[in-house]
Copies of this chain bind each other. A is one copy, B any other.
Amino acid sequence: MKETTQTQPGPLRVSASHRELLDQVLDKWSLLVMEELCDRPSRFNELRSAIPAVTAKSLSATLRRLERNGMVERIVGDRRPVSVTYRITPLGKTMREPVEALLAWTTTHLPAVEAARTAYDERADGGGHAVQSRPPD
């Protein structure tokens, strides 16, 4: 394990601006889209194919939001039936590292989380609360 990073001093301040930005950038479809665009630029319908569960409306909204936040770039070709390509921006690329760290965390700890879920569900299922007494303060 590498614990070279700061662990105990962190303020972990979650301001409204931070929250809003995370909401816009980590929402349901954004991560999938960013994942695709990190690999290569894609056109609208390529993205739809790559992410079958997304509807045109949601994809469109996601792309516009990401574009507005400077994460992706919308490139319109001058062909006839219009061809639009989306590409990740340099700013968008900077997001990759922290997001990957987060994803790595989920990969590492998902088993522990699932164990906790099972334990919790069994506890709730069995009857009352199995809690130990521990006087606070």
A residues at B contact (CB < 8 Å): 4-7, 9-10, 12-14, 17-19, 21-22, 26, 28, 31-32, 34-35, 38-39, 41, 43, 67-70, 74-79, 83, 85, 91, 94-110, 112-113, 115-117, 119-121, 129, 131-137
- Interface SS majority for chain A: helix
Separation of A113 and B107 alpha carbons in the complex (Å): 29
Q: Are A21 and B110 in contact (CB under 8 A)?
A: yes
List the number of copies, as a whole number: 2
Q: Are B131 and A74 in contact (CB under 8 A)?
A: yes
Separation of A74 and B9 alpha carbons in the complex (Å): 24
Q: Are B135 and A68 in contact (CB under 8 A)?
A: no
Closest beta carbon of chain B to A68's beta carbon, Å: 4
